Structure 1
Amino acid sequence: MAALKSSGAPVDGVLPPITSGPAFNVMLTATKKSPHPNAGKLFANWLLSKSGQDSSQGSIGISVYSPSIPKGYTPAWTPTAAESAKVLKLLGRSAG
């Protein structure tokens, strides 16, 4: 949007006071023949870290670590403790 604004386009962005949606999604694909099956897990772990979020979402300005998320933000879905543990296990991580 910055490029459009700087070229004179009548556009602007706003953060609504109440919003919802997924905070972040990661999807990996692999097969049994993938040459480096753990590379995807490593990449997902980095992508979910603060440095990964800063790098991938920094140009947008909003990440799961961002203080600019609207105060009234409500996630569209909040995983249960069991669901969170399952995702962490699939990524080779542990809770905490």
Structure 2
Amino acid sequence: MIKREGFIIWPTYFDRTLSRSEGRRVPLPLSSRLPTVEKLSKAAQRLGWYVKVEVAAHPKTHWKKTGRLIVRPDKPLNKQSVIKALAQELLRQETKA
């Protein structure tokens, strides 16, 4: 088993313009128009999680260097719960602005 720092989170998971088969992992009501690594990083920090930003491209869109996050929540969660919590926090951020 590979020991990892946390969960790998791609901005693609939250992109409203993409379909599920193209990599979106949240329902449309929780998705964002322009998710960026910076926005996701701020959302994860607001949740009190460890965050590390890396320059990388999602495998399905290898030509777009969107970056990725390594996220380690403060309590044990599975990856889908982490993605949903980030999506909700990102949505809260966007409605505030």
The two structures have a TM-score, normalised by structure 2, of 0.23
Structure with the higher helix share, 1 or 2 = 2
- State which structure, 1 or 2, has the greater radius of gyration over its C-alpha atoms: 1
The TM-score, its normalising length taken from structure 1, stands at 0.23
> Where is the strand percentage greater, Structure 1 or Structure 2?
2
